[in-house]
Amino acid sequence: MPGLYIGSTSGYSGKNTITVGLGLGFQQAGLKVGYMKPVGAMPLETEAGLGDEDALFVRDALGLAADPAHTPPAMTPVVVTHDFKVDAFEGRLPGVADGGLVRNIASAYKGLEQGRDLMLVAGSGSMYSGKYSGVDAISVVKALGLQSVVIDRFEKELNYDLLLMLKEQLGDNLSGVILNDVPPAFLEEVSGHLAPFLEARGVPVLGILPRDPLMGSITVGDLAQRLGGKVISAHHKTDRVVSQFLIGTMQVENFMLHFRKKKNAAVIVGGDRADVQLVALEGDCPCLVLTGNLYPNDVILTRSEVLETSIIIVREDTFTVAKKMENLLTRHKMRDAVKVRQGAELVARHLRLDVLRKSLGV
């Protein structure tokens, strides 16, 4: 029974989104799909035992929550906690030297694959994550005899050297690669030059996924929580989506010029800059993030309620908050139905599922 490992060249590359998209696509094709994430890096205690937060999200998105086989310990036999790492570094972790951890993964896999047409096996971190304990992706793929796809997310450029190295290491176990989150300005270069280059060297390019603003977005409510801030107005509008941000430290005229070019941009501004705050509110930004633990005046607070634009108060300075926002928009996991649907549509539209199915023999 075939199995497909979904890995990546680095963390936060879109493994969950693409795994769900692939799973839903295969299910629509009439295949009975099973799922596991052998190594979890986001520990979550459940009634059934220690599991992984990402794995539970993907399981639920694929409609497998009611399946008794898909319980946290079976889906994620290795969960990396602080104690796990310390024991591994100090040589106290059982199963590392003799390959016992991989055997545990293989045993769990055999239980989950029963009655399935296809198993989806999701990676954690990069293809080399877990090497210190013998549970890196390459070891797991070879031990379980899986086919694999490797996701490479565009960050300034693509990791073509690493993709070629992974082809050498995985050989025939590599079904292909997915080039993810490619900005519009680079699509022609990637499709016209890089993809043919990889194909000519035996690395099938299964899809080029263009950058989608929604996939890198966060809701106002999640943003407030992640920044450690407090929503003080328009609480009923915290489901609005933020896909970028603008720092309001400039003069009002310059701010207005930049603000008009930004869509769905949260405005990060000092609590004492009422002039910029008012312009941002009237321009229908999704939210204001006021720094320095400074509250707005009554005029701003009233306008935010009338215009239904939330205001978030945070303690840190503007520069610190901006750096946090940059990381959040790059790495945040917005786990809602809208994003699941959008990810599935991107996979269906841009991935060569027919080529992948042929490689898997399903």
Segment 321-345 mean pLDDT: 76
What string of DSSP letters covers 95-126? TSTTSHHHHHHHHHHHHHTTT-SEEEEE--SS
What 3-state DSSP class applies to 290? strand
Measured CA to CA, the distance from residue 49 to residue 59 in angstroms comes to 15
Per-residue pLDDT tens for 96-155?
A: 888 899 999 999 999 999 999 999 999 999 999 999 999 999 999 999 999 999 999 998
pTM assigned to the model: 0.81
Burial bucket for residue 347 (CB in 10 Å: 0-12, 13-18, 19+)? buried
Domains defined along the chain, listed by start: 3-214+334-360 (3.40.50.300), 218-331 (3.40.1390.20)
Measured CA to CA, the distance from residue 299 to residue 147 in angstroms comes to 61
Per-residue pLDDT tens for 214-255?
A: 777 888 998 999 899 999 999 999 989 888 888 887 778 778
